[in-house]
Amino acid sequence: MTTVLVNGACGRMGRTVVKAVLDDKELQLVGAVDVRGGADTGALAGYAENGILVETDLAAALERLKPEVMIDFTRPDVVFGNVRTALGHHVSPVVGTTGLTQAQKDEIKALAEKEDTPAFIAPNFAIGAVLLMLLSKQAAKYMPEVEIIEMHHDKKLDAPSGTAAQTAAMIAEVRAEHQQGNPDEKEKAGWDGARGANYEGMHVHSVRLPGFIASQEVIFGGLGQTLSLRHDTTSRESFMPGVVLAAKKVRSLKGLTVGLDKLLD
């Protein structure tokens, strides 16, 4: 049994994670933390109360409960501190919160190695989204003209999504940096951002609307043809197999691992 603490337990993703941990026979929920404390985790998951209450002090909970793994689905502005706190208590963080900068990831890597405590970060835990990223990288070898459109709910705090950023980075590994579109194209006055963000010449577009959970389309263009790869998340349960897999495997890793693809056979 791997002992787990869920951080951000009262949020939409957090509640789903609590349920997934309770449902898995190889994981044991020992604690939960959220800025909104007091709730019973059994009730959060839709089950009978189990006496494991949501706390508000992460460091104190880690010190007392000593879980092996902390699963974090919180906010971009606090996740870095949460990870540092977990590693400082020799607890392995499994992070689904997006918004970490490369400099922060580098610091997490160094701290994980210093504390001899493995850490795991994934921009997306859905198996289909991981396959989309891998297929996009493969396609870009042959069709390097590409744009990315990611669509999320209107409560998401960061843009572009971690999935889009990771997809662009993976494509850049096999695509020489170059500008796309007409070399003389200009955005109309007052329409800054019409072409989206520019990453090594690729354009990345973020859509935020109610009704979406998470979707991404990667469009490749070539002479006389286009290729579209798309993944749609219709339920937050889609992330849970990946979250559970990472929670079970993280303690066998070394340093910092980024991306669920690293755990797939």
Sign of CA dihedral 77, 124, 216, 261: positive
The pLDDT value recorded for residue 43 is: 97
Residue 55 near residue 80, CB atoms below 8 Å:
no
The pLDDT value recorded for residue 45 is: 95
What residue spans in the chain does CATH classification 3.30.360.10 cover?
127-234
Cα distances (Å, whole numbers) of residue 178 to 53, 147, 206, 228:
53, 13, 21, 20
pLDDT digits (tens, 9 = 90+) for 27-56: 999 999 999 999 999 999 999 999 999 999
CA distance 79 to 73: 8
Under-50 pLDDT residues of the chain: none
Q: Which homologous superfamily is 2-121+237-263 in? A: NAD(P)-binding Rossmann-like Domain (3.40.50.720)
CA distance 26 to 249: 11
As a whole number of Å, the end-to-end CA separation of the chain is 22
CA distance 208 to 39: 30
Among residues 229, 265, 259, the alpha carbon closest in space to that of 246 is found at 259
Helix (H, G, I), strand (E, B) or coil at 259: coil
How is domain 127-234 classified at the CATH fold level?
A: Dihydrodipicolinate Reductase; domain 2 (3.30.360)
What residue spans in the chain does CATH classification 3.40.50.720 cover?
2-121+237-263
H helices present in the chain, as ranges: 12-23, 41-44, 58-65, 79-88, 102-114, 127-140, 162-172, 240-249
Give the residue numbers annotated as catalytic, written as ranges: 152, 156
Residue 66: count of CB within 10 angstroms of its CB: 14
Helix (H, G, I), strand (E, B) or coil at 97: coil
The pLDDT value recorded for residue 99 is: 84
Mean pLDDT rounded to a whole number for the chain: 95
Helix (H, G, I), strand (E, B) or coil at 69: strand
